Structure 1
Amino acid sequence: MRLFAPGAAYCLLAGIMLAGCNAYEKGHTEYQRPELPQKSDWVGPEAAVQVSANETIQPDWWTGFNDPYLDQLIETALAGNLDLKILAARIDAAEAAIGEERSTLLPSVGANVSAQLQASPLGTTQQFGAQASANWEIDVWGKARKGVQAQTAEYQATEADWRAGYLTMAADLADTYFAIRRLDEQLQRQRSALDKNRRILAIYRQQHQAGLIPDTRIRQQQAEIHGLQDTQVDLVRLRRLAENRLATLLGRPAGDFRVPPATLTDTVSLPVVPAGLPSQLVSRRPDIIAREYRVLQVHHLVGQAHLAKLPGFSLTGNGGFASAVLSGLLGNWSLGLAPAMNIPIFDPGIEARLATREAQERIAEEEYRKTVLLAFEEVENALTNLAARKERLNEVRAQIDQLAQVRNQIDRQVQLGMASQLEVFESERSVLAAQQNLLQLHGQILSDTVTLYKVLGGGWPSTRVH
């Protein structure tokens, strides 16, 4: 009795071959970049100038601030920053993992040498042997090569991660350094305000000795000086905290590094930064590049999961020598060769692994799209902040000009004893507050410029996934 008719067997074979062809085709599907959010142009006022990616920002973009000390700090951080060292070690690990994946394409060979001595009432027996074995899983369908391609994509992603870390480190360092310089200038103006208020106190004391003003005015002026000194102490504290942060970025212990004092406006220039095009942004930002390489990595892993449905071919060989006499090993040998084919007819693990990889691919694609969409938001925000704060800067400068004229008039009145202490306080506080506001805006514009460099990719050359 025949269990299967010839026609049924042919149909079964044809079905297996068709499924195999389908698995092979899906396993070698060409990578297609996922559909991304589209943006025609930037909206921000600063987007009027559009140039190519390489012309927009250079890799050493921080040199545009024309501060040699900042250049020196970043060069030091490139060698000492621990975050960059961690990212570089991950690149090395990813490169080693490529070699590990490639090793699956090569045969494995093992050897065993033995000597056995056994004693019994009948005498002593001995046996010498040497065995060798080799196993090679032949990558007929390219499943192992897909693993190598996936790990290569991960290696390229870790390289992009390093570039993103490099960009973030330089931006953080520049922001921290600018904060220190801004605090230096605030301290300078605070000391100047203290000196002026002390001079006013001296004038009040002379006027009080002459019987022109009451003792309360002197006490009020002394209270004003204490308030200014309190603010000065807090500015010194903030500067030390910023120095500690800078030391960590440089890879040094906090407290072991000090920045020589200098004012922000005297040491740092404000560069003009034009915006780039959205297409250039996508091809330049290292975090976006890393995301796409990870989409490519999962694409290859999905292909590998499809190819796992196909039969596997392996070749096993073994041979050796065995003899009771060591000198007779060469005369007593054996050799075996065993080709094998493994056909996965029913393996639920294969389908489960494929479903997992396909889900991971969808996750990677959505994360890629999200990174691009967030990049558009970051650039628009940076452009908007930069334009608005430049407008505010002009308004505050005009405000200071008016307040300075009022202060000069009150200064002349103080000498004559014609100005009230309230007028003096309001004048000095208004001018100092406006000056500090102007300095704060200048620092924010520098920070916005750094942010714009960062969100545009920092001038990294275009990298494409192949």
Structure 2
Amino acid sequence: MSMMSFGLAGCAVGPDYQPPTRPIPDRFGLPQDISPAHAENAQILSVGEDLPGQWWECFHSSALNALVSRGLSHSPTLAAARSTLRAAQENVLGQYAGLLPSIDGHAGWTREKFPYAKSGIPNANASWGYYDLHVAVSYDIDVWGGIRRGIEREAALRDAVAAQLQAAYLVLTANIVSTAINAAMLSREMEEQQRLVTFEEEYLRTVEAQYQVGAASATDVALQRAQVAEQYALVPNIRARFFNARHALADLVGSFATDPRIPALDLNQLTLPAELPLGVPATLLEHRPDIRQATADLHAATAAVGVAEAARLPTFMLSGAWGDVAAHAAEFAVPGNGMAALAAQIVQPIFQGGRLLHNQRQAEAALSASAEHWRAVVYSSFHNVADILTQIAGDKDAFDADVVAERAASQALSLAQKQYRLGGISYITVLTTETAYQRTLITLIEARAARLSDSAALFVSLGGGWWNRHDNPILPDRIVPLDGSVPQ
């Protein structure tokens, strides 16, 4: 009977799913050379090079690696996504029951009374009881493939949930890395800002001393006091942002903000990846979770049209029963008490008020919308990669300029200190030069963190290399076949 079903269901109604195709450009739009002018921060793009499974290890920070590892093990968001995928998988497996007969066992006792009015025989009132023990079998023959299309739809929805798990995995690792970089940057920036406030305060004391001897005006003193207050006001703001980043990091790795095991990252211990693999643009369709989810949704919408179309066609059912009926339990299996039944049924919807027709039209409209959504997601994904590459190039140029500015300011400070020791300039000139140097140093810290964040964003935009990880499988062990076979 099952073989009959598979054969009849081989020609399922509705459109067969075809993977969407779209002309894909052979490049993302930027030249491959993004190496800065300074060799110690060189970085190149490698077209055709596949992404590593653990891309965060490219920053060569053991503390960062430990944070990501802990997040993958303890994140409740990722654990919930895995459980959601298991639920979707079990739902698909359950759909296969529609291809098999349904067998139920029945046991019961019935007491009946036979009334006079029903028989028309005087004094015919009587009552009796009997026991019933039988097995009932029912089977829906999937002539039009509606059940098969339903399985196909649920499997595609399972694939969409799997893509959501891939996205959760990618977002979690990306957020941990970007938050860690931000926390490390703010830590360094807070140190340099406090040092800058120290210079400004020393500068203020010098101006006040000059004012006492008539070498500076009251306006000079007031302006410097305002400068000190302005720079000092930035310290608590940076400190608050730093602790907020630390709290966010604790949340991402599945811990409390007070957890002392959250390591303090040093920006100098994060290495800018010397090589950024770009892969091949065409593989973006297979690797980006958002595209994979849109593809799975399109597959599900295609199968849903077949389900709606099959609902408008006749359904074929077989049913049967076998067992015994006896007045006393001891009389089961006595010859003459056996019963058996076999029935075939065809049901054709005749009038449903247009509901089935509109259901099919709704499914067809949803399929069209899913196809357009897939196109939009693909365009957005390629634009996202191109935007990040543009940001990488722009931040590389800004970093080059900041390095030149920092080195010039450092040289100016060194010369000013030498001239001051020789009596060629005043101490206030040295303080001014030191302040200028600290400002360029803070700007350089932010530029370096921006380049680190850009590198992480590129890894994420290309899919994060999850397909190269074998220690943390995304899909469950049992994969549902779509060829009509029933998993064992």
User: What TM-score do the two structures reach when normalised by structure 1?
Assistant: 0.82
The within-5 A match list for 1:247-286 is 247-256=250-259, 259-286=262-289
Give yes or no for the alignment of 1:343 onto 2:339.
no
Q: 1:141 to 1:178 in 2, by over 3 A?
A: same
Among residues 234, 238, 242, which one is paired with 1:231 in the alignment? 234
Give yes or no for the alignment of 1:308 onto 2:311.
yes
Give the 3-state SS of the residue equivalent to 1:458 in structure 2: coil
Partner of 1:16: none
Q: Which moved more, 1:143-152 or 1:197-206?
A: 197-206
Q: 1:24 to 1:270 in 2, by over 3 A?
A: closer
Q: Once the two structures are superposed, what CA deviation does each residue of 1:108-151 show, in whole Å capped at 9, x if it has no partner? A: 2333333356899x998543333442211122332212211221
| Number of aligned residue pairs | 439
The within-5 A match list for 1:441-452 is 441-452=447-458
Among residues 434, 439, 449, which one is paired with 2:440 in the alignment? 434
TM superposition shift of 1:400: 2.0
Distance in 1, matches of 2:58 and 2:46, equals 18
TM superposition shift of 1:81: 1.4
Question: Is the 8 Å Cα contact of residues 127 and 324 (structure 1) preserved in structure 2?
Answer: yes
Partner of 1:419: 426
In structure 1, runs of 5+ residues without a counterpart are: 1-22
State the percentage of identical aligned residues: 24
Q: Once the two structures are superposed, what CA deviation does each residue of 1:380-435 show, in whole Å capped at 9, x if it has no partner? A: 111111011111111121122222333344445666595385x5665344322221
Distance in 2, matches of 1:444 and 1:49, equals 17
Among residues 358, 362, 373, which one is paired with 1:367 in the alignment? 373
Among residues 317, 327, 332, which one is paired with 2:330 in the alignment? 327
Distance in 2, matches of 1:24 and 1:330, equals 42
Give yes or no for the alignment of 1:59 onto 2:53.
yes
In structure 2, runs of 5+ residues without a counterpart are: 1-8, 34-43, 115-124, 469-474, 476-480, 483-488
Give the 3-state SS of the residue equivalent to 1:330 in structure 2: coil
The within-5 A match list for 1:15-164 is 27=13, 29-36=15-22, 38-46=24-32, 50-52=46-48, 55-116=49-110, 125-164=128-167
Partner of 1:170: 173
Q: Which moved more, 1:226-235 or 1:276-285?
A: 226-235
Q: 1:262 to 1:221 in 2, by over 3 A?
A: farther
Distance in 2, matches of 1:261 and 1:451, equals 22
Q: Once the two structures are superposed, what CA deviation does each residue of 1:59-101 show, in whole Å capped at 9, x if it has no partner? A: 1111111011111111101111122122111211111111221
Question: Is the 8 Å Cα contact of residues 24 and 306 (structure 1) preserved in structure 2?
Answer: no
Question: Is the 8 Å Cα contact of residues 193 and 442 (structure 2) preserved in structure 1?
Answer: no
Q: Once the two structures are superposed, what CA deviation does each residue of 1:336-395 show, in whole Å capped at 9, x if it has no partner? A: 110112234555333222111111111111111111100111111111110111111111
Distance in 1, matches of 2:301 and 2:209, equals 82
Question: Is the 8 Å Cα contact of residues 313 and 341 (structure 1) preserved in structure 2?
Answer: yes
Partner of 2:465: 459
TM superposition shift of 1:286: 2.1
Distance in 2, matches of 1:152 and 1:443, equals 43
TM superposition shift of 1:250: 0.8
Question: Is the 8 Å Cα contact of residues 64 and 265 (structure 2) preserved in structure 1?
Answer: no
| RMSD (CA atoms) | 3.5
Which protein is richer in helix relative to its size? Answer: 1
Q: Which moved more, 1:338-347 or 1:294-303?
A: 338-347
Q: Which moved more, 1:146-155 or 1:383-392?
A: 146-155
Distance in 2, matches of 1:130 and 1:179, equals 72
Q: Which moved more, 1:380-389 or 1:352-361?
A: 352-361
Question: Is the 8 Å Cα contact of residues 174 and 450 (structure 1) preserved in structure 2?
Answer: yes
Question: Is the 8 Å Cα contact of residues 45 and 384 (structure 1) preserved in structure 2?
Answer: no
Question: Is the 8 Å Cα contact of residues 410 and 419 (structure 1) preserved in structure 2?
Answer: no
Question: Is the 8 Å Cα contact of residues 320 and 342 (structure 2) preserved in structure 1?
Answer: yes
Partner of 1:297: 300
Q: Which moved more, 1:55-64 or 1:336-345?
A: 336-345
Question: Is the 8 Å Cα contact of residues 156 and 293 (structure 1) preserved in structure 2?
Answer: yes
Distance in 2, matches of 1:262 and 1:461, equals 28
Q: Which moved more, 1:169-178 or 1:82-91?
A: 82-91
Give the 3-state SS of the residue equivalent to 2:275 in structure 1: coil
Amino acid at match of 1:457: G
User: What TM-score do the two structures reach when normalised by structure 2?
Assistant: 0.79
Q: 1:124 to 1:315 in 2, by over 3 A?
A: closer
Q: 1:242 to 1:60 in 2, by over 3 A?
A: same
Give yes or no for the alignment of 1:406 onto 2:406.
no
Distance in 2, matches of 1:51 and 1:267, equals 24
Q: 1:304 to 1:361 in 2, by over 3 A?
A: same
Amino acid at match of 1:397: V
Q: 1:401 to 1:299 in 2, by over 3 A?
A: same
